[in-house]
Amino acid sequence: MKEYKVLITPEALEDLNRYLSYLLFVKKNEQAYDAVLEDYFETVYHLSRVAGSRPDSLKKELAERGLKEMYFQRHDYVLLYRIDGDKAMVVYMFHTLEDYQNKVC
């Protein structure tokens, strides 16, 4: 099984920090913060193992930009990434209720 090096762009890291800050400082929910952060790390690890086998996005505009989606296992978040050789470059993170296709395209 090919393993990919997962790289997180500054924009994707900013997205993660925004969601975590909301949980911790607005919702004041440390348990949710910890759970989402743990799920994030597990999703990134899983991505390193399956990035190349994931299908292109079903959303035409995202697929045209070479983006694939990797959904969190236990929370309603998605990582948008592209493959570059042996690297999976995470470029965005969104909550699944957001209209992220229009935000990206």
Distance CA 66, CA 64 (A): 5
* pTM score, whole prediction: 0.96
From first to last of its 105 residues, the chain has per-residue pLDDT tens of: 799 999 999 999 999 999 999 999 999 999 999 999 999 999 999 999 999 999 989 899 999 999 999 999 999 999 999 999 999 999 999 999 999 999 998
Inter-residue contact 70 to 43 (CB < 8 Å):
yes
Q: Could you name the CATH architecture of 5-104?
A: 2-Layer Sandwich (3.30)
Dihedral angle computed from the Cα positions of residues 99, 88, 40 and 68, in that order, rounded to the nearest 10 degrees:
30
Cα-Cα end-to-end distance for the chain: 32
Domain boundaries, the chain: 5-104
